[in-house]
Amino acid sequence: MGKLVVTEFITLDGVMQDPGGAEKANFPRGGWAFDFDQGADGRKFKFDELMAADAQLLGRRTYEGFAAAWPKMNDNDFGKKMNEMPKYVVSSTLADPTWNNTTVIGFDDVAGLKEQFGNVLVAGSAQLVQGLFERELVDELRLMVFPVALGQGKRLFAADADRSAFELVEAKQAGSVATLVLRRA
């Protein structure tokens, strides 16, 4: 059976919202990830996790952002993998996905992805990730922790989330950020 791997850029206070700044109109604190150097080790961390993934699972909003950007970035191994790999979007409103190899599914279909694929990678997708934690479907967390606190924004864990225990597998410095790999205990 495969595993569901959640990968996130996250602040010290647990905010995962808009690390790249695409939501500036709605979230003026966005773009915080670009204030810090991830270094070669950080780039390798992100590259290795994508190359180890067999499929991607996304929420609708993250899918829409990715689908608008990634099809234009097919000039390197990272972009090629993003565009070629199977993508699944948990949504009740997305009817006709345009990004190649994309299938719309419901929450009830997520567990089946772990049976079909080795590693299923989930990036961004705050609402989806919180639902996955609630249903105890997350097997591994891969976090890039940025040394900043935003005070507000969408967080990795919902305010009313149940306790979740994880085992620290790896912790490293990558440029001016930290990378953490944790597995469900």
Task: Provide the CATH topology of domain 3-10+39-174.
Answer: Dihydrofolate Reductase, subunit A (3.40.430)
158: Cβ contacts below 8 Å, ≥ 6 apart:
130, 133, 134
Q: Is the pLDDT of residue 37 over 90?
A: yes
The pLDDT, as a whole number, for residue 181 is 98
Report the pLDDT averaged over residues 10-16: 97
- pTM attached to this predicted model: 0.95
**CA-CA-CA-CA torsion sign (147, 133, 51, 171):** positive
> pLDDT-derived band of residue 24, with 50, 70 and 90 as boundaries?
confident
Residue pair 61/125 in contact (Cβ under 8 Å)? The answer is: yes
Dihedral, CA of residue 96, residue 101, residue 138 and residue 133, to nearest 10: -10
> pLDDT-derived band of residue 45, with 50, 70 and 90 as boundaries?
very high
Tell me the sheet residues that pair with 167: 183
Average pLDDT, the chain: 95
Dihedral, CA of residue 91, residue 92, residue 95 and residue 98, to nearest 10: -10
66-110: pLDDT as tens digits: 999 999 998 999 999 999 999 999 999 998 999 999 999 999 999
